[in-house]
Structure formats: C-alpha cells, structure tokens
Amino acid sequence: MSDIQKLHRSISPTALLFTGLSSIIGSGWLFGAYNTARIAGPAAIVAWLTGMLMMLVIAVAYLELGTMYPESGAMGRYTQYSHGPFAGLIASWANWLSMIGIPAIEAVASVQYMASWAFPWAQSLVSGGHLSVIGLLTASVFLVLYTLLNFWTVGLFAKSNAAITIFKLVVPLLTAIMLIIKGFHPENFSHLANGGFAPFGWAAVFTSVATSGIVFSFNGFQVPINLAGEVTNPKRSVPFAVVGSLLLAGMIYVLLQVAFIGAIDPGMLAQHGWNGLVFKSPFAQLAAALGMGWLALTLYADAVISPSGTGISYAATSSRALQALTRGGYLPSFLGTIHPVFGVPRMAMLTNLVLSLAALYLFPNWEGLAAVISVTCVIGFLTGPVSVATLRRTAPAAPRPLSISSMPIIAPIAFIFGSLLVYWSRWPLNGQILLLVLLVLPLYLIAEARAGWKDTTRHLRSGAWLVVYLLCMALLSYLGGKPFGGLGLIPYGWDMLLVGLLAVVFYLWGIASGDPTAAPSAAETAAVHAHAEGQGS
C-alpha cells in the first residue's frame, strides 16, 4: 500500500465533525463580529449569511471529490487528478500556503486577548498594536504545543480536540444569549444618525465577507476533507462533518453578530460611529460593561482555548497538505514520510512549525496575518469546482460514493463565488497573493528538468488556463472599481459582472483542458475505497 493508505483510520464521524467545528470556531469568533461591524455596520449580519452561503456552495463541490479520493491532504491533490502535475502543483502550493499561517494567527489571537488581563506581565505581551518580544515568545510556546498534540497520533489529536470543541460551542452561545438578555438595543440596527442598516454601502459589505474574518473562519470546512484518509467510512463521515460544521458554526456566528451589534452602547455609537469603535477584547469588554464579570473572565479563558482548538486542527491538516506536495515530487520526499509506529507525518509537522514561527515573527498581530490568510484561503480552494466537473468528463468510470446530481449547476456557481471573493479582497493585497502563488513555477521547471521534460508540453497545456486566470484576476482587480482598491476604469457594479463572466469563461476552459491520463487508475481508486470500507466496517 502507498503512504496514503497507511495512515491510521481512527477518526470517527463525530470526532471529524468536532474537528471541523473546532477549525471554524477559532479566533474568528473573538474578533470577527467586531471587525465586520466596523466595516459594514449592522449589515454585517448580511455579510455573515452571504459568506456562509458562498462557502457552503464551495464546500459541496468538494464533497464529491473528498469521497472519491479519501486521502490525507487531498485538498491540494484534486487538481492534479483532473489537470495533471503543473496545475496540481499550483493548487497544492496555494492550498498549503493558506494553512501554514493559521496556527500562527490562532496563537497571536490568544496572546492578544491575554494582554487585556489585569496582570502586569500580561499587559506587557502587546506593545503598539503588535506582540512584544515576550508576546512573541509566548505565542511560540502555543505553536509548539499545537504540534506536540498531533505528534504521536491523530487519535490523540481528535480526542483532545473533541473536549476543546464542546467548550468552544458552549461559550460563544452563552455569550450571545447573555448579551442579548442583558443589554440589547434594537435601535442600533437602523438608527439613521449612525448611517442606517448599511452605513458604508454594499461594497463595504462585500469587502467584509472577504477580509474581516468571515472567509478566514469558514475556511475551516476543508479540515475534515484533508483528514479524509484517516476517518472511518469517509462516504458518510466527510459530508456529515463538512456540512454540519458549516451550518452549526454559521448559526453561531450570525447570533454573535446580532448580539454584538445590539450590545453596543448607543451613546458610544453616536460619538464614534461604527468604524470608530475600538476594543482590545470585544466580547469580554462588552460583558464587563454590562456587569457580567463572570462572563468576561470566561471569555478571557476561552480566548486561549478556542484559538488553540483551531491551531491544533491546522497543525494536523497543514502537515497533510505538505505531505501531498512531496508525493508530487516537487519537494524532498523525506518531508512526507509517515512515522512507522504512530502513523503521522512528523517531518511535515516540524517543517510547518518552523514556517508558522516565521509567519508569526513577520506579522506579529492578528490583523496583519488575517489579511494575508484570507486571500490565500480563497485561492487555495478555487480549483475544486473546476476539478469536480472535469473529472466527470475525464474519469467517468471512477468510483463516486457520493454523486451529487445538481453538481453541473453547483460547480460553476462555486467557481463564480470564489472569483468574487478574490476580487472583494481588494487590490493590491489580492494581486500580491496571486503573485506569491505563481512563485511556485520555478519548482515545477526544476522538477521537469530533472525528469527530462517528459510530457511537459501536455502538462503546461492542461494547466495554462489556471495561470492565465490568476493573471487576469490580478489585472481586473487593478483596473476595477475604486471601492475594491482598483483604478476605477471599470465602474463599480460592472466590475463584479465582469468577474462573473470571466469566471464562467475560465471554468469552461478549465473543463476543456482536463487531462484524461492524470486521474488515478480504477484499480488504485478501488483499493483506496476498499481500504476505507475495511477500516470503517
């Protein structure tokens, strides 16, 4: 059996659901409602609902793929199966980039909340809006702990994560309910003096979907898919965990947003406006202001626990993404070696730990990391809708334990949604991240040179659509509407219509460029499914 199939299938459906929830309900709930309200005002509620819908559609496109190829780290492999190694490398690279910074941002979130504690040592953790030297060292300890909890077995990871997730569900729900009971001001949602329901216009609402922490939070849906190679009965477990975690977390986030908007003191709002609100620890400060000191203390504790649950999840799943890159031959194979006793990719975990530490020291605050991670997250899962449609053409006989009849409608909509999210992320940030993704091209050329340029032309032809798409998206963002950071040469409104049309063109080009020889053989795929069913029975 390959290394893919040697991974221990020890995660149950419930544990996988908890893993997805833990990945989604991390530092996003501590800061997301606050950041979204500052950008969009009361229309932040619409932003969360929009983000949940868009991410749910994108996630459904991945369900068929996740059950077709129940492999660990497979989110970065699907494009290789549909379009060959060139496009596959770009997708895998983007997917991996979207993950390695997440443990760092969760550690930063915990430390930033700790800086609001009354103790002098805690207040020294942050200086000038950034982590101090002591704060960076404290965050580094968190990162090491995230790795150690995954170092011996994914079973230990899943069990410890289940306990954390239960706590993470209770505290946000309790916070939202108590804020609504103790201090709810309905006038905050529509007061004309504060700009009404959407004080900054709908462009601000769209931008908040992509940049305020909404996409960053819901991106956790991919964790159960990346762990599909280690779950019992992936046919049932993966859809249950992905859809269940998105819907449950989405309801919690919307409730939190309603509670946050309603709990703001109307006098403070009249004085500062939505974009003038300043909180270090938003929900804890609101709880304290309403006389709920016990809840504030609970929130300070949860600020350590909730981000840690997400950090633990991504320490596991990012190692599988790196392992997928090594299987393609573009990085040294030892990085993806599975430990013979514990069944986990230890070298990949250690490598990601080093890179997460680098991200921590380069971007020593939550806002800086969140801005970068949000865009890389979107680019990381953009190719899935094209891959699922392409494989229906190039590998029609491949086993499909979960075949979604409406996929011909869902897949193009998902690709349009992903394209809009990239555009809403605003120029120049989206252009910078698109360039970072394309920097992987030298790795491909080096590997092809070593292999004697075998089938390189065919691979480049199959993946050309993706390179041109990324370049066109960067150009469109540069020329697009001023509300999204562009030059304004393409008027607001027409720019989003053009993004949608462009997405349809590249979606069709992507399907037409599929490589029928790239997908695993029927025998290989059947072996993976037989192994999954054997361990899940």
First to last CA, the chain: 19
Give pLDDT tens digits for 415-460.
Answer: 999 999 999 988 988 888 888 888 888 888 887 888 788 888 898 9
* Residue 54 confidence (pLDDT) above 60: yes
User: Does the structure show a pLDDT above 50 at 317?
Assistant: yes
pTM: 0.85
Q: How far apart are CA 11 and CA 231, in angstroms?
A: 4
Domain 3-381: assigned CATH number: 1.20.1740.10
pLDDT in tens, 255-301: 999 999 999 988 888 888 888 888 878 898 899 889 898 999 899 88
Provide the 8-state DSSP code for 363: S
- Are 227 and 154 contacting, i.e. CB atoms less than 8 angstroms apart? yes
What's the whole-number mean pLDDT along residues 49-67?
91
Cβ atoms within 10 Å, residue 442 = 9
SS3 of residue 291 by DSSP = coil
pLDDT value for 466 = 93
Tens of pLDDT, residues 120-150: 888 888 887 788 999 999 999 999 999 888 7
The mean-pLDDT minimum among 6-10, 405-409, 524-528 falls in 6-10
Planar angle of CA 67, 91, 60, nearest 5 degrees: 35
**Cα–Cα distance for residue pair 272/266, rounded to 1 Å:** 10
* Confidence bin at 340 (pLDDT 50/70/90): low
Quote the CA–CA distance of 72 and 17 in Å, as a whole number.
Answer: 16
Q: For the purposes of burial, counting CB atoms within 10 Å of the CB of 127, is it exposed (0-12), middle (13-18) or buried (19 or more)?
A: middle
d(CA 239, CA 182): 38
Single out the residue of 16, 2, 11, 3 nearest to residue 320, CA to CA: 3
pLDDT at residue 1 above 70? no
| Per-residue confidence band for 247, with pLDDT thresholds at 50, 70 and 90 | very high
* Domain boundaries defined on the chain: 3-381
Q: Determine the 3-state secondary structure of 231 from DSSP.
A: strand
Would you say residue 192 has pLDDT above 90?
A: no
Per 3-state DSSP, the chain is made up of helix, strand and coil in percentages (nearest 5) of 75, 0, 25
DSSP state of 201: -
Q: How far apart are CA 507 and CA 526, in angstroms?
A: 29
The torsion angles phi and psi of 291, rounded to 5 degrees, stand at: 80, 15
| Amino acid (1-letter code) at residue 430 | N
pLDDT of residue 533: 52
pLDDT over 90 percentage in the chain? 34
What string of H, E and C letters represents the secondary structure of 119-185?
A: CHHHHCCEECCEECHHHHHHHHHHHHHHHHCCCCCHHHHHHHHHHHHHHHHHHHHHHHHHHHHHCCC
CA pair distance 75, 207, nearest whole angstrom? 26
Token representation of residue 390? 């392409």
